[in-house]
């Protein structure tokens, strides 16, 4: 099985900041808006280099979305930045009516997603955002797995004409994908080849899936790991082709199992290739305060939980 090496832990929000900075240097139409969270979104360098292309909106997220929609009319490519909870739940009406309905070229960039926000607790740990955003017609939904992929995704979405939801996180996590990768919207990435089970993961759960696959290999189980960084549009062919070979699948995400990646995969399988499936995700619950590691373990979002799901789904084949 192919091995992946952590090149040095880093937070995915810093990958966003690095990508935005590069866009500031290469694309004069890119502008940035923030709702009073510049440091948390790592937007400092972009602002330092492009002060005339930055708008501090303050704690007025709904206003930020509407301003961003208006900026697209003049040919600008606005990147909005705040926590995922405030990027979606607080402003869903404005996103639906002012951005999605008319297909505005706004990039909604959302940090501190999921339970790995940690100690701030349930009021800030949104676990419904992927479901909210993927249901909006025309909205692309992206959830990269590490620093390098988040940087690449940030750069790539500037070239896509239409609304995009880019989700990333707060904690420092393994950085294992290539620094020079080409990010293709809607294209799954096969990380390991396997014959016994398919593990489809997104975001922070991709590294956990790789650890699980390595542990399973020592038990004689061959796991195919696929990184689904784009939840919508979903790479259905990659999933179908994999389960035709393995015969079962585990989906893993730092999100509610209701409305997330797992349900999108289940729809693909139900209509094209019925296959036993197990779901890793939070189960119809809010989060709570704690360290990211504590919460990932408590809510069954780590490599051990993935291993157990693999054993269970293989028994169902």
Which active-site residues does the annotation give?
61
Burial class of residue 26 in the structure, from the number of CB atoms within 10 Å of its CB (0-12 exposed, 13-18 middle, 19+ buried): exposed
Gap between the Cα atoms of 16 and 45, Å rounded: 11
Q: Which residue from 42, 121, 134 is spatially nearest to 95, judged by alpha carbons?
A: 134
CA quadruple 259, 264, 270, 271: dihedral positive or negative?
A: positive
Q: Which residue from 91, 93, 92, 64 is spatially nearest to 80, judged by alpha carbons?
A: 64
Integer-rounded Cα Rg, in Å, for the chain is 19
- Spell out where 20-163 has E strands: 30-34, 54-56, 77-83, 107-111, 140-142
Task: Report DSSP state, residue 181.
Answer: P
Q: Which residue from 252, 245, 211 is spatially nearest to 231, judged by alpha carbons?
A: 252
Gap between the Cα atoms of 96 and 103, Å rounded: 10
Q: Which residue from 49, 45, 36 is spatially nearest to 16, judged by alpha carbons?
A: 45
């Amino acid at each position: 099985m192919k091995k992946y090496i952590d090149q040095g832990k880093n937070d995915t929000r810093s990958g966003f900041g690095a990508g935005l900075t590069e866009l500031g240097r290469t694309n004069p139409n890119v502008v940035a808006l923030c709702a009073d969270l510049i440091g948390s979104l790592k937007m400092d360098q972009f602002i330092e280099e492009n002060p005339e292309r930055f708008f501090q909106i303050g704690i007025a997220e709904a206003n930020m979305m509407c301003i961003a929609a208006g900026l697209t009319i003049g040919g600008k490519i606005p990147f909005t930045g705040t926590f995922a909870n405030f990027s979606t739940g607080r402003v869903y009406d404005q996103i639906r009516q002012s951005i999605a309905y008319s297909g505005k070229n706004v990039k909604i960039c959302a940090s501190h997603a999921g339970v790995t926000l940690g100690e701030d607790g349930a009021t800030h740990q949104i676990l419904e955002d992927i479901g909210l955003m993927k249901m909006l017609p025309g909205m692309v939904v992206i959830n990269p797995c590490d620093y390098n992929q988040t940087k690449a995704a940030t750069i790539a979405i500037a070239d896509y004409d239409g609304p995009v939801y880019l989700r990333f996180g707060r904690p420092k996590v393994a950085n294992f994908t290539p620094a020079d990768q080409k990010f293709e919207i809607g294209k799954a990435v096969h990380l390991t080849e396997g014959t016994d089970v398919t593990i489809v993961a997104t975001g922070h759960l991709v590294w956990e899936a790789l650890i699980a696959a390595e542990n399973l290999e020592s038990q004689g189980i061959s796991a195919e790991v696929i990184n689904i960084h784009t939840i919508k549009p979903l790479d259905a062919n990659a999933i179908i082709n994999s389960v035709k070979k393995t015969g079962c699948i585990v989906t893993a995400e730092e999100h509610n199992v209701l409305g997330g990646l797992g349900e999108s995969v289940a729809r693909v399988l139900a209509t094209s290739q019925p296959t036993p499936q197990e779901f890793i995700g939070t189960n119809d619950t809010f989060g709570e305060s704690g360290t990211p590691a504590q919460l990932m373990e408590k809510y069954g979002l780590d490599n051990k939980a993935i291993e157990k799901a693999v054993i269970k789904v293989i028994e169902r084949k």
